[in-house]
A and B are shown apart, each in its own frame.
Chain A
Amino acid sequence: MDRLPQLDLEIRSLRKRYGGFTAVDGVSLQVGKGQFVCLLGPSGCGKTTTLRCVAGLEEPDGGDILIGGREVTRDPPWRRDIAMMFQDFALFPHMTVARQVGFGLEMLRKPRAEIAARVAEVLAAFEITALADRKPASLSGGQRQRVALARAMITEPRILLLDEPIGALDYSLRETVMIELKQLQRRVGISFIWVTHDQNEAFSLGDHVVVMNHARIEQQGAPEDILHRPRTPFVAGFVQGNNSFHGRIAGAEGGMLRIAGEAGSFLVPGASRAPGSAASFSVRAERIGPAAAAHANRLAVRCVTVEYFGSIRRYILERAGGALLKLDQFGAEPAWLRQGEAAEIGWAAEDCVLHAVPEEAAPASSAAPAREVVPA
């Protein structure tokens, strides 16, 4: 094939079932050269299964996987141009760090001298030369993480798959490691596919974030897109800092839609929809403020509690009917509400984001707890 591969990875309508449980249902994804992609979602949403299908550790029931333009759907892991970092690092307990890191090159049947030179180089690059003769049992969490990364990167794969790669680390280490990994990825230009349930990780690392729920992709795009323009109520609820409202289309007013629901009646930008049809929208916590003349949408609330994070102050507010809302204010500004106080809040119509898919596709989502899928 002389066709120039444009994409590092292409997944076309991937499907995977375990018995009666659908783990991945029609997932499609394109990863360009050297992209940093984060698969984000609650446990059991299918993100790990998707990653394992790309690695060849699970055989899909349907769909295609192409790596570098080559179809590999039925290929075993050892014939794919990938490397993988596992959640608990999966280091070989009987091998020294040097042996461990050189394992991938040994498998490629490189000459011994070349392996030794390359291992020395990689150990130095990851600042673990001093650990060369140690075994994993005597390493700290951070050291293990470096060894696992060095072991995966040494063969220079086209794609590095990372399954919750910093989940096993101490909280204090995570931020440092995240920055290092991001810089490493930029430097080497290998595509990273990073699975996580932590949205801070996903949004700060990913060029492209894929939010998954119930075996499907809810939304994918740049972090800003997903944070500020959630397409579905699930994404709006899952991503921090959104307030969601549900209702029905009551009519159109000057190029905007009026949506009336239990919370009240609100003006939302959007193309016209059939009156009476279900609709939902969200507004970000930092776009809400004390009711002002410019606000087309208003709501009476009572302050339940105030959380202070330094850079922002978050008010948890209760509206009539009991539902809670979030309102963010810059932390440096003086507080304008105290616990127990009543107020009227408001926001501009332009700050509302109409959801493309109004109702939850699976209404059982809140009733049935999401099943954890970690195939043995």
Chain B
Amino acid sequence: MSSIRPGSPAAYWLALPATLWMMAAVVVPVGMIVWVSFWGGRAFSPDSPLSLDNYQRFFANRTYLALVLETLRHTATMMLICGVLGYCIAYFLVVKVRSPGWRTVLFLAFVIPFWTSALIRAIAWVPFLGVNGVINQALLATGLAEKPVEVFLYSRTGISMAQVSLYTLMASGPVVYMLAQIPPALLEAAMTLKAEPVTVFRRVIFPLTLPGVVIGQVLVFLNVMADFATVQTIGGNKIALLPNLVINFYEGAQIRAAAVVAVLLMLCMLAGVAAALRVVDVRRLGAT
């Protein structure tokens, strides 16, 4: 069989099914969204003249602009919290837990919640965060609070708490992988060259795990930017971020506005990924 040779044309046939599927499920719909976002006029039809009207209308509205900034700010906060927590967890699992058995147990405990869908996990936070929820009951029982804390549910705090629990694994996983690749002799070499532990971390461990950190940050960034479910279930109708705006417009039959927001959202994500790739060449991961 000649299909094993890299240059063989037979190899292209192997890529065909996936290509067709990606065309139908991703490329064409994305193209259509971009196209719709430029439809001018009043009629909703493919005959509409192409114009920038929809974008101008969106950017003319200060509320929407504030929402874009708010979404980016919220995402940045999540990236920071998930990144720090995720790094600590990864460091603990790889460096401090020496017994392979315990490492597996702890890693499973950490991963099992992710076997359920993101939507279910978002909804599952509601009974925790409510006025009569588990957290408030615990606070009242231990006397840490005198009356139920209301800011947990239907608030930015609640959304953040839920999203941190949802996405920390994504920040942590790639770091676990990168940390596990570092030969212990490197750290010992640094110490014998008079580097104290903090310096060893700053000069050797962290730079070597940086690709993992960046990939984790990209994953958190993409997921938080796209997460409408958590914002909707835990934020109620009081809080909306960009992805919720897409749904609001769509449900209000403002398809062109929905398309504009969707395109902006995609551009933000593209810019984020491009920025990350400038920091770390993900394609060269694993090659030392």
Binding site for B on A (CB under 8 A): 55-57, 76-78, 80, 82-84, 86-88, 90-94, 103-104, 107-108, 137, 151-152, 155, 161, 376
Contacts and interface: CB of A to CB of B under 8 A. Distances in A.
Nearest to A55: B192
Contacts, number: 66
Contacts of B195: 78, 103, 107
Interface string B177-205: 00000011110111111111001000110
A376 B98 contact: yes
Interface string B64-93: 000000000000000000000000000000
A354 to B, nearest CB: 43
Contacts of A91: 189
B189 A86 contact: yes
Contacts of A151: 193
A78 B188 contact: no
Given A376-B98, A376-B184, A93 B288 contact: yes
A83 B190 contact: no
B194 A92 contact: no
Contacts of B204: 92
A373 to B, nearest CB: 15
B188 A88 contact: no
8 contacts: A78-B196, A84-B189, A87-B185, A90-B183, A92-B189, A93-B288, A107-B194, A155-B194
A57 B191 contact: yes
Contact of A155 (B188, B189, B193, B207): B193
A86 B191 CA distance: 12
A104 B183 CA distance: 19
B192 A107 contact: no
Contact of A103 (B98, B193, B196): B193
Given A90-B183, A376-B98, A83 B207 contact: no
A90 B188 contact: yes
A77 B288 contact: no
Given A78-B196, A90-B185, 4 more contacts: A76-B196, A90-B189, A91-B189, A104-B194
B268 interface: no
